[in-house]
A and B are shown apart, each in its own frame.
Chain A
Amino acid sequence: MDRQQLEIVSLTVLATILKCEVSAETSRKNTPQWDSLKHIEVVFALEDELGLQFSEEDLANLDSVGNIVDRALIRYAT
C-alpha cells in the first residue's frame, strides 16, 4: 500500500472505532474519544486491515494518523 492508501485505511479505522469525525491531523492529543481503551481497538483493527504486526516500540508511537502511516510504511519495508 502507498501512503495515500494507508491514510485512507487509517482514517476508516479511526472513524469506525472512535465514532467521530477524523482527518489527517487527528491525534490522541486532539481527540478526546481516542482514549487508552479505544487505542487498543484501533491498533488491533489496523493490524488486521493492514495485514501487519507492529513492533512493541511502534505501539507507543501510533498516536496520530501521520505516525500510523509512517510506522506502517516502515513495517512494510522490513
Chain B
Amino acid sequence: MRHNLILAGPAFRLRPIGDADAHLLLELRCNPYLNRFLHATSSGVEDQLAWLADYYERPEDYYFVVERLETGTPEGVISVYDINFDTGSGEWGRWILRPGSLAAVESAWLVYRCSFEQLELAQVYCRTVADNRPVVSFHDSCGIPQRRLLPGHFDLGGRRLDAVEHLMDRQSWAQIGPRLEKLAKLTSQRLRRG
C-alpha cells in the first residue's frame, strides 16, 4: 500500500517504495547474481510500474527501499506483506540487496522493528528457499528459535522448492532485537571507517 513509514538505524533507513524506484527494482530482479531464487520477471520498466500499481492497492503490504542514511543511495528492497491484522501475523521478504551491500543485518533489524513497533504485529515470519544457504544461514545465525521446513512451498520456474521458515514472535524479539541492534551498530562503525 502507499504508506509513509520510515525507519532509520545507525547507517541505513527504510523508506516507502514509489514509481521512481521501478528502475531499481528492475536492476535488482534482473541481476543474475541475485535472482537465482526469485520468480522470473519481465525486463521492462512498464511491468514493474504495473506491479507497483497493484501493490499500492493492497492494504496488507508494506514495501520499502533500503537506503544508505548518509548518501540516500538505494542498496536494496525489503517488505512486510500478507499481514493479517486480526491475528497479528505477517510475512517479511522480497529482500534483495546489491552485491557487496552491508545492509543485511540492519535492514532485517529495521523490518522487524517495523513489524513489532509500528505495525504492532504479534509475529512475523520469513520463508527462504532452502537452497539459498547464505540467507538461511543468516536467519539461523540470528538465533530465531522457531524454524521449520516447508517442503515444496515455492514454485519457481515449474520446480517445487523447499522453504525454510523462521518465525519471530514478541517473546523471541525481546531477546534477539537487542542483539541485532548491537550488530547493526558494529556494522555502521565499520562503514564510517570506510
Contact = CB atoms under 8 A, between A and B. Distances in A.
A and B touch in the complex (CB under 8 A): yes
Interface of A: 35-37, 40
Contacts of B160: 35-37
Contacts, number: 14
Given A36-B161, A40-B151, 12 more contacts: A35-B152, A35-B159, A35-B160, A35-B161, A36-B130, A36-B151, A36-B152, A36-B160, A36-B162, A37-B151, A37-B152, A37-B160
B156 to A, nearest CB: 11
A7 B89 CA distance: 47
Interface residues of B, number: 7
A37 B153 CA distance: 10
A contacts with B: majority SS: helix
B193 to A, nearest CB: 39
Contacts of A40: 151
A36 B130 CA distance: 10
A31 B185 CA distance: 46
Interface string B144-183: 0000000110000001111000000000000000000000
Nearest to B149: A36
A73 B135 CA distance: 34
Q: Which 4 residue pairs spanning A and B have beta carbons closest together?
A: A36-B162, A37-B152, A37-B151, A36-B151
Q: Could you say which of A35, A36, A40 has the most chain B C-beta atoms within 10 Å of its C-beta?
A: A36
Contacts of B152: 35-37
Nearest to B159: A35
Contacts of A37: 151-152, 160
A36 B155 CA distance: 12
Contacts of B162: 36
B76 to A, nearest CB: 28
A60 B159 CA distance: 20
14 contacts: A35-B152, A35-B159, A35-B160, A35-B161, A36-B130, A36-B151, A36-B152, A36-B160, A36-B161, A36-B162, A37-B151, A37-B152, A37-B160, A40-B151
Interface string B27-71: 000000000000000000000000000000000000000000000
A8 B151 CA distance: 28
A36 B152 CA distance: 7
Contacts of B161: 35-36
